[in-house]
Structure 1
Amino acid sequence: MPLERILIIFVKYPEPGCVKTRLAQSIGKDKAAFLYRTFVELLLKKTSDMSSERFIFYTPADKREKLSSWLGGRSKLFPQRGDNLGQRMSNAFRFAFAKGAREIVIVGTDIPLLDKEVVLTAFKKLENRQCVIGPSLDGGYYLLGLSHFEGKIFQNINWGTDKVLNQTLGAVKRLGLTYSLLEERFDVDDVEDLVRLKLSLRRYRKAGSPELDFLSGRLDELSLNTH
C-alpha cells in the first residue's frame, strides 16, 4: 500500500566536534553535541503521533547502529547520499516519492521551536500547492515540501549561504511551480541564536507544553553562560 505522506528528518549523529561547530566555539563541543541531541529528540517527540510516515535520513553512513540504539529500533533509518546538501535532499525526495508518496516534507533539526502544527500546515498546503517552503532568518529554509519530485530545485544553489532561500525561490518560479511560504523561524547555529532561544522559551512556556518543558530542562542542565 503506497504511503500518502512522508515526513523526512535529516539527522547527524551527535559526535562532539562534528555537530553545531560554530556554537561549539562558544560553549564547547560536548555541550554543543548535547544540545544538538536535545533538538533531535525534541523534534521526534513533537512528530511522534503524526499520521504521516516518518523517514530519518542520517549521516555519517557508518553510524547506523549507534543511531538505531539512540533513536529506537522502530525508527526508519536511511543513509544520506550526495556530495552536498542539495544532492542529499534531492536523493531523499526521489527515494521517498519512489515509495508512492503524494506529499513529502523535509525538515532539519536546527529549529527547536518548530511546532508540529507547522509541519501539518505544510502537508495541508501541498494539497493544492506543488511546493511549500519555511524560510529561516539566516537566508535559508527550515522546511521544504513537494507534491512531486523536482530535482532542479536543488541545482545551482550556494548551500550554506544566505542566498539559499532566494535562489531556491528563483528556481521554483522558473519551473512554474505553485508555492506557498510558511512563517519565518530561526535556527540555532551560534551563541546569539542560543540567547534568542532562551528568551523565546520564556514567552512560549507561559502557554504550557511538555515539549518546551523538556527543552527548557535540557538547557538548564547545561548551565550555559550566554550573557
Structure 2
Amino acid sequence: MKTTRIIIIAKEPRPGFAKTRLIPALGPLGASALADRLLRHTLAQALAADIGPVELCVAPEMEAEYWQPWRRQDPIELTQQVEGNLGVRMMSAAERGLQHGHPVMLIGTDCPALNAHQLRAMSTTLARHDACLCPVSDGGYALLGLHRAHADLFTDIPWSTSEVARLTRVRLAQLNWKWAESPALWDVDEPGDLMKLKTFYPEIVAERF
C-alpha cells in the first residue's frame, strides 16, 4: 500500500544558483552539472522506492525550460516553492503535501546515500511515529517525515549549519512528538565531500572531477 508522499525540495541546477559552495572546486558550470546529476539520482531513487506520489517542489520558477520534461512525466508532480527562507519553503511544501491525506517526507538532493531502500524503511518507521528524521554527518538532515506540519520545526532554524538537526530534535521534544531517526548519512555540500562522492558514487561524478 502506497502511503507516503515524497517531496523533493529542488533548485534548478543553473550556474551560480545551485551547489554554490562547490564552485571553488568545480567552477560554476561544473557545480551546476553535478547538481543536475544529484537531482536526477534523487528523483530516480524516490520513484524506485514506490511508496507513494513523488513531488518535485522547485525553485526559482516552475515554468523554466529545465523542468518541462518532468511536467509531462505522469508519476511526478511538479510544484512551485514559495518565496522565503528554506524553513518557509519547507513548511509550505509540507502543509500542501499533507492536504492529500498521507504523511510526507521532505528530502533534498544532496544525499546520494538516501536511496530507495532507505526511503522505504523511513516510510515504514513514519507509520509508527509522529515524525522521522535522517540526520547527516555535518549536523543537518537529509529527510524529515511528518504526519502534520508545525511552524516550530521550521522557524528560527539556522539553516546550512551544524545546529539544524539538534534544534529540530529540541523542537520535536517540545511538541511532545514521538519520532525516530535513522543512522546518520552524509551529503555533498563542500569541496571536501567530492572525493567520497567519487569513491562511492562514481556514476554521479564527471570523469574530470
TM, length-normalised to structure 1: 0.85
Match of residue 98 from structure 1: 99
Structure 1 residue 218: Cα displacement: 4.3
Match of residue 132 from structure 2: 132
Match of residue 26 from structure 2: 27
Amino acid aligned to 1:216: P
Assess, with a 3 A threshold, how the Cα gap between structure 1 residues 62 and 173 changes in structure 2: closer, same or farther: same
Structure 1 residue 141: Cα displacement: 0.5
- Per-residue CA deviations over 1:44-92 (Å, capped at 9, x if unaligned) read 22222313111110000254443123x4512311111141111111000
- Per-residue CA deviations over 1:117-176 (Å, capped at 9, x if unaligned) read 111111111111001011111111010001222222112211121111111110000000
Matched length? 205
Match of residue 5 from structure 1: 4
* Larger Rg over CA atoms: 1
Q: Quick check: 2:51–2:120 contact (8 Å CA) kept in 1?
A: no
C-alpha separation in 1, matches of 2:141 and 2:169: 11
Q: Quick check: 2:9–2:57 contact (8 Å CA) kept in 1?
A: yes
Residue 208 of structure 2 is aligned to residue 223 of structure 1? yes
Match of residue 158 from structure 2: 158
Aligned runs of 1:80-119 on 2, under 5 Å? 80-101=81-102, 103-119=103-119
C-alpha separation in 1, matches of 2:83 and 2:179: 26
Residue 169 of structure 2 is aligned to residue 169 of structure 1? yes
Three-state SS of the structure 2 residue aligned to 1:216 is coil
Gaps of 5+ in 2: none
Assess, with a 3 A threshold, how the Cα gap between structure 1 residues 222 and 28 changes in structure 2: closer, same or farther: farther
Three-state SS of the structure 1 residue aligned to 2:78 is strand
Three-state SS of the structure 2 residue aligned to 1:105 is strand
Question: Which range is displaced more, 153-162 or 173-182?
Answer: 153-162
Match of residue 195 from structure 1: 195
Gaps of 5+ in 1: 202-214
CA RMSD, 1 decimal: 1.6
Amino acid aligned to 2:202: S
- Per-residue CA deviations over 1:5-25 (Å, capped at 9, x if unaligned) read 211011111101111111111
